[in-house]
Amino acid sequence: MNIKLKILSAVKMYAHLLKLPSNDLIISIIILILYLYLSIQEQFMGKLEKFKKLKHEIPEKSIAWRIYGKGMENFGDNKMMSEIPIPEPKADEILVRSDAVGLCFSDTKIIKFGSGHPRLKGRDLKKDPVIPGHEAALTIIKTGKNRMKDYKPGERYIIQADVYYRGKSIAYGYVLPGSLSQYGIIGKEVLDGDNGSYLIQVHKKDISYSETALVEPWACVVASYRIQHRDGIKKHGNLLMIGTGKDEKDWQFKNLFQGKAPKLIILAGVGDAVQEKISTSLSGSGCKTVSITKTTTPSAIKNLMEKYTGSTGFDDIIILGNIGTEVIASAGDSLGAYGILNYMASTDTPQITRIDAGKIHYDRISFIGSASADVNAPYTVNLDCRLKGDSVILFGAGGPMGQMHVQLVLENKNPPKTVIATDIADNRIKTLKEKFSLLAKKKGIQYHVINPNDYKGQEEVRKEILSLNNNKTFDYIVCLAAIPAVIEDAASYLGDKSILNIFAGVSKETIINLNIKDFGSKSVRFIGSSGSKLDDMEFTLRKVENLELDTNSAVAGIAGINDVWNGIEAVRTGSFPGKIIVYPHIKHLNLISLKELKEKYPKIGALLSENGSWTKEAEEELLNDML
C-alpha cells in the first residue's frame, strides 16, 4: 500500500468516527495537505536519517566484489566492483542491506587459495564466484511472506558466519554470498540452520554500524577467554589407557568413572592389577573393555586409533607411568576434537615432547597430568581459563587482533598489575604505545611495550621481560604469532597454574617441542580457539550495547565500496595497524587511515575520540556527508 492510499484510508476512518463530511473534495484536500506535509518533512531529512528509516531508493542492481580464482588478480572484475541484480526475496528469504563491513585476514585467505580453500574445494569460481565479507552490520529491507512474523523491515542484525545446515558447513562470506555487496539475500540455510537462526538482533538502535560489524572479530577474541575443558573423562566416549607394562603405582580410578563411564575402553600395555580395578569400577555400567597386547609403540597407538575410532581420534587418552617421548607424541596425534591427554608421570624429570600446536588451536585438544595416583585429579585442576592473575604478557600483539587482546586485558574488571606486549614491527610498537598507554595509566597498570629486535639476543630479551615482572613468571600468556619458536618461548614464561592462550591461527601439524611434564608438575593449561559460536557473539554484542566494550577502538581506516581492492591488499600486507571498515553505500571514498582523515576531512576527524579512535559521531558525520 503506497503513502496516498494509507492516508486516504486513515482520513475516511477518522471522518466516519468523528461524523465529519467525507465527500471526495474534502478528502482530496486533506490528502493533498498531508501528502505535501510528509513530502516536505522527508525532503528535509538528512541522508543518514533517510538511510535508517529506509526512505532511500532501492536500486535494481547491487554493487559487489567477487572472487573468481586464486590471487589478487582474480579479485574483482579487473580490480573493479561488479553490478549484480537484486532479487525479490522468496517466501522463506529476507533481503538485507549491508551497512558496514569489516575486512578480515580470512578474506585474503580465500583469495590466496581460491578453489583450493578448505571451505571451497571443487568449486569453479569462474562460473560461481565468491562474495566475501563476514564481519557485517545488516538491516532488513524486505521479508518473504513466511518470514514476516519473525523479521521486520528496519530491524538490524549481525551474523554468525560459521553456518551449518543439515550437518554441512556453508559459511557466510565463503560458500554463501557475503556482505561485500550492498544488498543480499539471506535464506533458510542461515534462518533455519542446525543451531537455529544465525542472525543475532541488535536491540540498541543508536549503536553505530561499525560497532556492530566488529562484533564478529571481537567475539573471536572474547571467546578465547571463555574456553573451559571437561572436568573428567567424556561420558560414553572412547578412552585409550596406555601402561608401561607394569603397575608402577596403586592407581586410583574410583572418581574417574563415577557417573561418566565411557562407551569403550582400550587397554594397551596395562598391568593385570589395573585391568582388574577397571573391571570392578565399571561393573554394570555397560562399558565395553577391550584388552590389547602389551605393544605400545607409536605405530601401535596410531593403529588403535584408526581401528577403534574410525580415525576420528580418542576422546581421552590416559598414560600410566613414565613412557617414551615418541609414544606420548603419537598419543597426542591420536586425540580427536576436544580430546584430553592425561599423562600420569611417575617423576617430574623434564621430558621434551613433540606437540601439534595446530590441534590445540583448531581441535581444542588439551594436555593435563600429575605425579599422584588419583587418575581423575588432573581433570579438575586449573579449569578456569578466563583472564586471571597479576601479570599478563602478549607475544606478537601489534596486529588488529592483538590490539583487541591488549584492550580486553586492560579493560578487564579485575585487571592485572603488569601487562607486557611485544611485537617486532616499529609501526605496530608505536600503535601499541599510542593506543593503550593512557588507558593503562588511568587504570594504574604497569604497561610495557617491547620490540625483541631492540636487544642483542634472546637471553637479553628474556632478562628484560622478567625484570619488568619482578623476576617472576607470568600468570597468563597470550601468543598471537603463528611461529613455533615464539610459542615455545612463550611457554617458557609459564608459572604454576598459568594459562597459555594460543590465539594465532597456527595450521595443523605446526609442531612445537615442550616439556610435557609441566602439565603435571605446574598444572599449566594450553588453550586455543578458532572463531566464535553464536552465544559468544551474542555475549559480545550485549557487552557493546551495555557500553562495556568499545569495538570501534580497533578501527584504523575506512573506505567506500569503490576501494575494497586496496582495502583487502592493505589487510593482506598488514600495512594498516588495525581494522578497516567498508561502508558499502558510500561509492566514492578511497581507503584512508584515521590519521589522514583528520587532515583531509577535518569535520569528521574532529569527532574522533581523545586517542584518535573511530566513534559513532564520526560515522554519522561521514554517512550524512557521503551516502
Coil, strand or helix at 411: coil
Is 401 or 16 the better-scoring residue by pLDDT? 401
How many CB atoms within 10 Å of residue 352? 11
517-532: burial string, b at 16+ Cβ within 10 Å, e else: bbbbbbbbbbbbbbbb
Q: Which of 81, 13, 90, 3 is nearest to 562 (CA)?
A: 81
The residues pairing with 583 across neighbouring beta strands, listed in sequence order, are 560
How far apart are alpha carbons 484 and 453 in whole angstroms? Answer: 18
Q: Quote the pLDDT of residue 240.
A: 96
- 194 has pLDDT over 70: yes
Using DSSP's 3-state secondary structure scheme, residue 514 falls into strand
Q: Does residue 246 surpass a pLDDT of 80?
A: no
DSSP state of 37: H
Inter-axis angle of helices 400-410 and 215-224, nearest 10: 60
Of 186, 70, 65, 67, give the one whose Cα is nearest residue 129.
67
- CB-hemisphere CA count at 13 Å for 303? 9
pLDDT class of 6 with cuts at 50, 70, 90: low
For residues 509, 575, 71, 171, the Cα torsion angle rounded to the nearest 10 degrees is 60
pLDDT, tens only, 248-261? 688 998 789 988 88
Sort 24 into a burial class: Cβ within 10 Å, 0-12 / 13-18 / 19+: exposed
* Nearest partner of 219 among 235, 198, 239, judged by Cα: 198
SS3 readout for 311-361: CCCEEEEEEECCCCHHHHHHHHHCEEEEEEEEEECCCCCCCEEEEEHHHHH
Residue 504 has pLDDT above 90, yes or no: no
**pLDDT-based confidence at 43, cuts 50/70/90?**
low
Q: Which three cell numbers stand for residue 33?
A: 495537505
Cα 529 to Cα 161, 501, 533, 574, distances in angstroms: 15, 8, 11, 22
In three-state secondary structure terms, 12 is: helix
Beta strands in 494-585 (DSSP E): 494-502, 511-515, 525-528, 555-560, 579-583
* pLDDT for position 235: 93
pTM of the model: 0.86
Phi, psi of 431, rounded to the nearest 5 degrees: -65, -45
Most trustworthy range by pLDDT among 10-14, 114-118, 346-350, 523-527: 523-527
Give phi and psi for 387, each to the nearest 5.
-60, 130
Mean pLDDT of 498-519: 92
How much is the pLDDT for 76? 95
pLDDT, residue 569, reads: 96
d(CA 527, CA 353): 17
Task: Name the pLDDT band for 287 (thresholds 50, 70, 90).
Answer: confident
Where residue 612 falls (left for φ over 0; alpha for ψ -120 to 50; beta otherwise) is: left
DSSP annotation string for 67-107: B-SSSGGGBSSSSS-EEEE-PPP-TT-EEEEEEEEE--HHH
**Element containing residue 450 per DSSP (H, E):** strand 446-450
Q: Does pLDDT of 553 surpass 50?
A: yes
HEC string for 192-232: CECCECCEEECCCCCCCHHHHHCHHHHHHHHHHCCCCCCCC
As given in the structure block, the three cell numbers for residue 436 are: 593503550
Residue type, 449: V
Q: What per-residue confidence (pLDDT) applies to 12?
A: 57
Separation CA 605–CA 618 (nearest Å): 7
The residue-averaged pLDDT of 72-76 equals 96
Residue type for position 111: I
Q: What is the pLDDT of residues 333-374, one digit of tens each?
A: 999 999 999 999 988 899 999 999 999 998 999 999 998 999
State residue 1's pLDDT score.
44
Q: Kindly report the average pLDDT of the chain as a whole number.
A: 91
How many CB atoms are closer than 10 A to CB 300? 18
